[in-house]
Chains A and B, each alone.
Chain A
């Protein structure tokens, strides 16, 4: 009985120390484990991960019993996915395999799930999830939100870094921007090819301002050549195809792009085919071309090797 006061003192001191430490630890835990605060509050003794494993396998089993995910069962699938997200928000498969299953039946819910995944701290380096979000927004959502889709594609581009397997992300980004431009700018009259050229030229101009000629972004995330895409877009705008007839506005704009971007690249103003030194007419479309790369010697005037050799291979005259 005489020891009771000592126990009381220990009890009080230990209680105060425990509560101070617990509060500090709780904050620390959230700093390196931020998903903890979003976890389900169900009292399952911390077995959230195990419960999610079991639920995931049950979901796989359930999906196997369905012929397709449509309006009749999409709600149940979404509910199961939501439960999984509350148990283990870091589980990539929920979004990459689970959410995409219902992208046609309920694109809005799919985008909601994928947006949550995009904001997930653990999945912050995953570039496929924002790509899927953009893709669903562009192809499945009704009406399609191209502006938001472009934002997702841009996020994906930034995350993919130098991953060469992600070239289609860049294409999707520009396509989304072009579609958004068509949707907003009525003067384009639905001309997506011209819109794409405008988007690419706008990007080229931005890069020029930032001093990153030839790359999409100044952050060096993508090293694919913007000029190649511009050439293809110019060709699409200038050359008629089965489903496209070039417009005068488009041609005018393309000429302006060629004069600004490809003033030294020597490409045909009609069909954008590159031509060599000394050629007077385009070998692809027969258009008259401004001749370049000739020998300075008036008596010679023959094409130089590669168009810029320091000496003429025909007369030996020095060019510079």
Chain B
């Protein structure tokens, strides 16, 4: 467990110590705040727009964190950092799980900062309290990092450094549109992820509450899917020749 936390902390420290991350968070919050100026153009929908923009930017931030992971693992493999780490009493599975865990923590911190900043801006702009649904939807964006990070790890192990981030983005992008496969067991939700299960941006705008049981179950699904993707990545990684 200590080894996993060491690998994970290395991952999150790598990203979170970069000042540019906080500058980007600030830029995201400026964009959220700018939604208030769209009152005329949106015919009075600026409040809804602000909620939605905050969620969109949070989702993009989560996606970028996952992409950074797909750059990091191949880079460590190429530069021999991974082989140094793996020469210690550390299993390949632990290495992958540590990377995934690090990515989740990094994403959670960044998304939480954007969410809290958005809540503050929303409160200051409209003088309204933050609804439960708004909180739930931001929480679900953070929870979506679990399967997304696992996918990032899988493609980082499976594919070459140049292709891995592109394929990850494409898969994550299309993973929101797999509903039409809902009638096919194993393929739907098992092999192909349905990230739309975490997507409730419209609910946040219309204040339609999400049952907490659903939030719990979707977290469980995220963990199960991450286990699937990670075990597949481990099978491939076990056979990989690391220099």
Contact = CB atoms under 8 A, between A and B. Distances in A.
A88 B202 contact: yes
For chain B, give the interface size range: 35 or more
B176 interface: yes
Interface stretch (A42-50, A73-81, A256-264): A42-50
B180 interface: yes
A1 interface: yes
A1 B182 CA distance: 35
A57 B42 contact: yes
A49 B45 contact: no
Contacts of B205: 49
B235 interface: yes
A25 B221 contact: yes
For chain A, give the interface size range: 35 or more
Contacts of A7: 93, 231-232, 234-235, 238
Contacts of A21: 189, 217, 220-221, 224
Nearest to B40: A60
A122 B74 CA distance: 47
A14 B49 contact: no
Contact of B185 (A23, A28, A50): A23
B200 A33 contact: yes
Given A8-B235, A90-B206, A93-B45, A25 B191 contact: no
Given A14-B231, A45-B176, A33 B191 contact: no
A265 interface: no
A132 to B, nearest CB: 17
B9 interface: no
Interface in A27-76: 28-29, 32-33, 35-37, 41-50, 53, 56-57, 60-61
Contacts of B220: 21
A10 B225 CA distance: 11
A306 interface: no
Interface in B21-69: 38, 41-43, 45, 48-49, 52-53, 56, 59
Interface string A149-177: 00000000000000000000000000000
Interface in B211-243: 211, 214, 217-218, 220-221, 224-225, 227-228, 231-232, 234-235, 238-239
Contacts of B190: 15-16, 18-19, 22
A22 B221 contact: yes
17 contacts: A11-B231, A14-B224, A15-B186, A15-B191, A18-B225, A19-B186, A21-B224, A23-B185, A23-B188, A29-B214, A32-B210, A33-B200, A35-B202, A45-B176, A49-B202, A60-B42, A122-B206
Interface of A: 1, 3-4, 7-8, 10-11, 13-26, 28-29, 32-33, 35-37, 41-50, 53, 56-57, 60-61, 88, 90, 93, 97, 122
Q: Shortest 4 CB-CB distances between A and B: which pairs?
A: A22-B189, A19-B190, A14-B228, A46-B199
